Amino acid sequence: MRLLDLATLTSLVSALPRFGRFSYSLSVGSTNAQGLESLYHNDSLGISFVTESQTEGRGRAGRTWESPVGSGIYLSTILPADLRASALAAVGFWASLAVREACRESDEVTLELKWPNDLLWQGRKCVGILAQSRSVGGAARVVVGVGINVNRPDPVPDSIGATAAWLSDAAARELDRTALLARLLAIYERTFDRLLRSPKDIIREWADVAALDGRQVTVKAVDGSLLHEGMVVEVGVDGALTLRTMSGALVRVTLGDVDVLH
């Protein structure tokens, strides 16, 4: 097990004016919980909470996120500015695009986008993203949690053996987690102004890359029950999916697990 190289990480990100600070720990319950607890502390804007393992990692809809020690990137970042309501819908899409770009630039691995903000390799989940916010007045402070399966652990937890993938599966080698994390924070820095200025463009870009229009999909509830099946008409500028169901009705989807059939 190789831990993150903190000296190298500090050297690589310290020049970033907004995303260059991090707090590191060997193990925590949840980095998102750390971020939420620190949202309104003095000088908390822009800090990333980074760990080697989580004991209570979580994803969307309260799901557990497995965090084997030293095999992934587990971080939660308090965004360095409060967001207006129109930008909140784009946060997960922004982070998803940033992670995808970081994986391509660092390790030449291209991941698939899954609505709303998971990333897959060969149909298996490789990245999960969870954005949570607290609002005061008309502005929201946001923590963005990212879990990336980087190097396949040994052993693989039984709970995810059939559904998860690791970047090392695609690259056929062990990857440098430190370099990938630094690359992600640099991309956050480079693209954050666009999130603030043009959130609808972020969602449009995500939709272009995902290329869901015209695809046949299913939408399932957290318990796995089928909610809808139909063809994607569009991903709206608010991030919602519009489907044309088998009966011809148009349905707007804002929550659920979406799987592409063909």
- All structural domains of the chain: 6-208 (3.30.930.10), 212-260 (2.30.30.100)
Question: What is the per-residue pLDDT across 231-257, written as a single tens digit (0 to 9) for each?
Answer: 999 999 999 999 999 889 999 999 998
For the entire predicted model, the pTM comes to 0.94
- The Cβ of residue 32 has, within 10 Å, a number of other Cβ atoms equal to 28
Show the low-confidence residues of the chain (pLDDT under 50). Answer: none
Q: How far apart are CA 2 and CA 115, in angstroms?
A: 32
Q: DSSP 3-state assignment of 194?
A: helix
Give me the pLDDT at residue 224, please.
Answer: 86
For the four alpha carbons of 5, 8, 9 and 14, in that order, the dihedral sign comes to positive
Beta-strand ranges (E) seen in 22-138 are 22-25, 48-51, 72-78, 83-84, 112-114, 118-121, 124-136
Q: Which helix (H) or strand (E) holds 182?
A: helix 177-197
Give me the pLDDT at residue 57, please.
Answer: 64
- Strands 48-51 vs 22-25: parallel, antiparallel or unpaired: parallel
Give me the pLDDT at residue 242, please.
Answer: 96
Give me the pLDDT at residue 178, please.
Answer: 97
Nearest-10 Cα torsion for 87, 93, 99, 100: -140
Q: Is 126 exposed, middle or buried (0-12, 13-18, 19+ CB in 10 A)?
A: buried
Q: Which residues of 209-244 are buried (b: 16+ CB within 10 A; e: fewer)?
A: ebebeeeebbbeeeeeeeebbbbbbebbbebbbbbe
Cis amide linkage into residue 116, ω under 30° from 0: yes
